[in-house]
Chain A
Amino acid sequence: MTPFTYSRAADTAEAVRRGTIPQARYLGGGTNLVDLMREEIERPDTLVDVTGLSHEIEELPGGGLRIGAGVRNTAVAEHRSVRSRYPALSRAIVSGASAQIRNMATVGGNLLQRTRCAYFYDEAGQCNKRSPGKGCDALEGFNRNHAILGASPACVAVHPSDMCVALVALDASVHLRGSAGVRHIPLTELHRLPGDQPHVETVLDPGELITAIELPPQPFAARSTYRKVRDRSSYAFALVSVAAALQIEDGHIRDVRIALGGVAHRPWRASRAEEVLRGGPVGAIAFAAAADAELADARPLSDNGFKIELARRTIIAVLGNLAGETA
């Protein structure tokens, strides 16, 4: 680990002032950043601790929620309004990592956690994300956990977060503050696909601070759910995960939200599947058609072809369960 200075920011303005200098990083729970620093993947010389900022969960007029970027993952999962109005989010969070990590991890940090690709983590690996232009060892190497959607020849890594998958399905947006002022963007626009610049993972400007996420009111989200498929019962990243919510009226699907995890460089909003379903009939055939539409562009790598079938089945099963529940 390279030596660095550490300070706690008293407010967001001060945080942004300190965080905008080159080689500065914001520090949330540190559960990802500190690991990356130990591995010499990140070498910041200044850490600005932002866990003291914005750690409230506020009810918004009209029924939404605003969750401060410093709120711990556990606190979000346990919050009564989250559990009753956005259960997919609670479930997604508690299916991730371990209790200790969730107790430390913050919302802002979870959003910006980096991939778990083994070659990204290994100093001996060739990795475009770690050293742009060096190549991608995962293409011909271990890529069982890697992307089937939206990948590029430069990078096939996935975004590892569970929480983000639920947030993307729930139409969350992100409040940002940078030296140029504040802005508010949909979460689906925060993360980038790898393209030919896999080291640029988000649309954030240098030093831009996440101050909060916002969940809009969504009555049918009260029946949302999250299903995570993994290699062991706990403490494993998703091979595939599905967050979904379904609104059925008069035997038809009035509205639907679906997002996938473990399949792409960003939490994957399954808009094509939603389109297929919206306004159509309920049932296994429709669910399968939706899954197929979403996965039509899926491309397997040497070890991860099973994810296509797994994602398909999991989407169908999750929608089936939701339809069963709401029926």
Chain B
Amino acid sequence: MSISKDARQIVESAVQGVMAKAIALAPDGWIPGGEPDPLIRSRHGHVGKPVSRLDGPLKVSGTAPFAAEFPMQGMVYAALVFGTVPKGRIAAIDTEQAESSPGVLSVMTYRNAPRIAPPPVFMSGPKAAGGDNLPVMQDDAIHWNGEPVAVVLAETQEQADHASSLVHVRYQSEPAQTHFAKAKAAGTRTATFMGQPLHNEIGDAEAALVRAPVSVDVRYSTPRHNHNAIELHAVTAAWTGDELRIHDASQLVAHEAWSIAQMFGIPEDKVVVTSPFVGGGFGGKCLWQHQVLAAMAAKASGRPVRLVLSREGVYRVVGGRSLTEQRVALGADREGLLKALIHTGVTAKTASNAMPEPFIMATRSAYASETISLDVQAVELDMLANTFMRAPGESVGTFALECAMDELASALDIDPIELRVRNEPKNEPISGLPFSSRNIVEAWRTGAAKFGWDKRSSVPCSTRDGEWLVGMGCAAGTYPYYRMPGGAARITLTHDGQAIIDIAAHEMGMGTSTAQTQVAADRLGLSMDAVVFRYGDSTLPGVVLAGGSQQTAAIGAAVSAAHHSLVKALLKIVGNDSPLAGLKPDEVASGDAGLCKLGDPALHETYVSILARAGQTSVTVTAEAPAPLETQHWSMHSHAAMFCEVRVNSVTGEPRVSRFLGSFDCGRILNPKTAASQFRGGIIMGLGLALMEETQFDERTGRVMNPSLSEYHVPVHMDVPEIDVIWTDIADPHTPMGARGIGEIGITGTGAAVANAIYNATGKRIRDLPITLDKLL
């Protein structure tokens, strides 16, 4: 390369840099014909850079305050007593011995607990957060095995724990339904999820299945799973007069504050929930009884209360993923084109929640088929309410669907990737909507090349390494794009050129605060140092659930709306001497720490100068994100092509994953470093789902029998091989920043990729998770 050419490139890229740095206001463009977010075109800012997590130093130095670490004056410690029958009444409860135990302040039971209303159950209202709608320690009724029956308060945790063993309870048992097969035999009901029945029909799929020249019709099952975030659920609750402050580990601070206010019958703004750091959420850190019990105990005792669930406590009080039994039947012509796609099955929920595991969600947009029949039936059991757990529906639904696709590929003798590519839908089959952006085929091709898929033998049992049978498998993963209503953000621009972004969002270790600082810096034309991203506090604007992988889009849309308001507010005060005088909001862009004329970066004034000229120390604006209309117009999903190599021991059946690659199509990747961790984390959880995770729910008693990390297996380091992750990085033109959520997709498709690899290695189809060695002997 000549020097002159080199120099020219540098100049060019510098010019592009300036141009790119000037970011126009994002249009409210989540509608057909709307303009994509201008940040998508910006390739020289902070977005897309592998920035290390801003909270990293705090975490490694142990100075990030988690919920169990907030110091409080006069605080007391709580321990819970869990019930031991699935259903019935408390016949007698003797707290005397506990009360006279050293250090004990009081023992709260239904007899002396403050009277409150039941929790508003999740999805029953915009801010409802309850895992169920059962009364919390209000009467003698027992609803599940493990329900808290007493709260012991003491001066130290050890005193509380000991005294909790001195509470003696006698139960009057009542007949309980804890047996899945018996409940099914008594009748199932079509499940509804988010107000819609989990049922779709296109044509007569059963008839088409019978007519199809090639078909598979198989049944799969997935067990119950429990949440095992490394941080135990913990809460510190204190009342000051009629105001309740809760330091929590929460993925929905605003929902939680509102819901708890409803329960105590006090105004919403009298409850403040903060949650600056959360050590893993995955759907489990919502509103369960422990926060409410801590608040009740704090009210009754007049002291701040700290309540940390034990690991067992998490299993007794926090719901997990429900079990599923699924049927997938696929009919195809000899070329592999689907004529019939049937995905049906049964799951269990409780009478007190609205959460049937929606395992057909991924199937709705997966493949083109002439006929489709999807259906989820549910039974209600007497158990702790099940709940969201990383990719609810998709994680276990893709296991069944994608194993069945592999079985069909074998039956047809077509490469499983090719079979999937042949069945790519033009529009979403169920809704008929066009896809906002779908590049799964590219993900398949690049993934297959990088993984070395061409080295796979399509004949099972053909690769052996000593005692080990080696095989490769693949599967598609997918997760929808969501953006829930309620997003709002505040921007405060200060005279020294800092922008403070305030939004009631959450950092659960994903890197949200880092990625959103990058986005806001680019949006406002600032360096990252000049942006302060504040979150995890219910008094901040916005009702933002860190769930459904929707936070990134929800925050992005809210901050972009606030950016609009900020520019409007600044143009009002620029005055006549500013180079920006007379410009309208849609004629300006943010860049170089200020505003400039669109297309003419030379007409520029810094924020510092604008504020100084106007004699203002700061400007504050708050704005709400526009309604999430994009999901009405497009079928919006992230995709993944998962590749797995396993080794199965021919003597012992031990299955071990030796290689894994995830090839993702998730829109624009905002931060490759934090994204790679999210993808890998999801895949690791998927390996657990495939090979070992299983809650032992004793159907005789409705009791979870393995409530510990010793007996409930999740992958250990040695179970996790090097995991390669790659992505298309193709921006979705219909989302803020061109990004779609990435937090949950990693667990989808992974279970099937493992199962399909095991088939390739051994010739055995294991259709019941987890795939433990006894199934491979």
Residues of A within 8 A of B (CB): 1-3, 38, 40, 116, 118-119, 122-125, 137, 140-142, 144, 229-236, 239, 306, 309-310, 313-314, 316-317
B162, B652, B696, B706: the one within 8 Å of A310 (CB): B652
Q: Which candidate, B218-226, B368-376, B389-397, B715-723, is the interface stretch facing chain A?
A: B715-723
Task: Evaluate whether A306 and B777 lie within 8 angstroms (CB atoms) in the complex, with A1-B158, A1-B161, A232-B691 already known.
Answer: yes
A-B contact pairs, 15 of them (CB 8 A): A1-B162, A1-B165, A40-B165, A118-B706, A123-B84, A124-B145, A124-B701, A141-B698, A232-B691, A232-B713, A233-B719, A309-B777, A310-B773, A310-B774, A313-B651
Q: With the chains together, A145 CA to B84 CA distance in Å?
A: 24
Pair A231/B161 contact, Cβ less than 8 Å: no
The residues of A that contact B653 with a CB separation of less than 8 Å are: 310
- Asked if B705 lies at the interface with its beta carbon under 8 angstroms from chain A, I say yes
Pair A235/B716 contact, Cβ less than 8 Å: yes
Pair A124/B703 contact, Cβ less than 8 Å: yes
**Nearest CB on A from B232, distance (A):** 15
Per-residue CB proximity of B640-654 to A under 8 Å, as 1/0?
Answer: 000000000001111
Pair B652/A313 contact, Cβ less than 8 Å: yes
Per-residue CB proximity of B148-161 to A under 8 Å, as 1/0?
Answer: 00000000001001
The residues of A that contact B713 with a CB separation of less than 8 Å are: 231-232, 236
Known: A142-B698, A230-B654, A232-B718. 11 other contacts (CB 8 A): A1-B158, A1-B161, A1-B162, A118-B711, A122-B703, A232-B716, A233-B656, A235-B716, A313-B651, A313-B652, A316-B651
Task: Evaluate whether A141 and B716 lie within 8 angstroms (CB atoms) in the complex, with A231-B692, A310-B652, A310-B653 already known.
Answer: no
Q: With the chains together, A36 CA to B145 CA distance in Å?
A: 22
The residues of B that contact A310 with a CB separation of less than 8 Å are: 652-653, 773-774, 777
The residues of A that contact B716 with a CB separation of less than 8 Å are: 232-235
- Asked if B467 lies at the interface with its beta carbon under 8 angstroms from chain A, I say yes
Pair B717/A234 contact, Cβ less than 8 Å: yes
Please name the residue on chain B nearest to A97 by beta carbon. B710
Please name the residue on chain B nearest to A119 by beta carbon. B705
The residues of B that contact A122 with a CB separation of less than 8 Å are: 703, 705
Q: With the chains together, A233 CA to B657 CA distance in Å?
A: 10
Residues of B within 8 A of A (CB): 84-85, 145, 158, 161-162, 165, 467, 651-654, 656, 691-692, 696, 698, 700-701, 703, 705-706, 710-711, 713, 715-719, 772-774, 777
B85, B145, B706, B773: the one within 8 Å of A229 (CB): B773
Please name the residue on chain B nearest to A142 by beta carbon. B696
Please name the residue on chain B nearest to A230 by beta carbon. B654
Q: With the chains together, A113 CA to B632 CA distance in Å?
A: 60
The residues of B that contact A314 with a CB separation of less than 8 Å are: 651-652
**Nearest CB on B from A262, distance (A):** 12
Pair A232/B719 contact, Cβ less than 8 Å: yes
**Nearest CB on B from A93, distance (A):** 17
Q: With the chains together, A123 CA to B654 CA distance in Å?
A: 33
Please name the residue on chain B nearest to A144 by beta carbon. B774
Please name the residue on chain A nearest to B145 by beta carbon. A124
Please name the residue on chain A nearest to B83 by beta carbon. A124
Please name the residue on chain B nearest to A236 by beta carbon. B713
**Nearest CB on B from A226, distance (A):** 14
The residues of A that contact B705 with a CB separation of less than 8 Å are: 118-119, 122, 125, 141-142
Task: Evaluate whether A234 and B652 lie within 8 angstroms (CB atoms) in the complex, with A124-B703, A142-B705 already known.
Answer: no
**Nearest CB on B from A206, distance (A):** 25
The residues of B that contact A235 with a CB separation of less than 8 Å are: 710, 716
The residues of A that contact B696 with a CB separation of less than 8 Å are: 118, 142
**Nearest CB on A from B751, distance (A):** 16
The residues of B that contact A141 with a CB separation of less than 8 Å are: 698, 700, 705
Pair A306/B774 contact, Cβ less than 8 Å: yes
**Nearest CB on A from B658, distance (A):** 11
Q: With the chains together, A306 CA to B774 CA distance in Å?
A: 6
Please name the residue on chain B nearest to A309 by beta carbon. B777
Pair B703/A231 contact, Cβ less than 8 Å: no
Pair B777/A233 contact, Cβ less than 8 Å: no
B84, B162, B710, B718: the one within 8 Å of A3 (CB): B162
Please name the residue on chain B nearest to A126 by beta carbon. B701
Q: With the chains together, A314 CA to B650 CA distance in Å?
A: 11
Q: With the chains together, A123 CA to B692 CA distance in Å?
A: 25
**Nearest CB on A from B553, distance (A):** 36
Q: With the chains together, A314 CA to B718 CA distance in Å?
A: 21
Q: With the chains together, A309 CA to B651 CA distance in Å?
A: 10
**Nearest CB on B from A104, distance (A):** 15
**Nearest CB on A from B104, distance (A):** 13
**Nearest CB on A from B150, distance (A):** 14
The residues of B that contact A119 with a CB separation of less than 8 Å are: 705
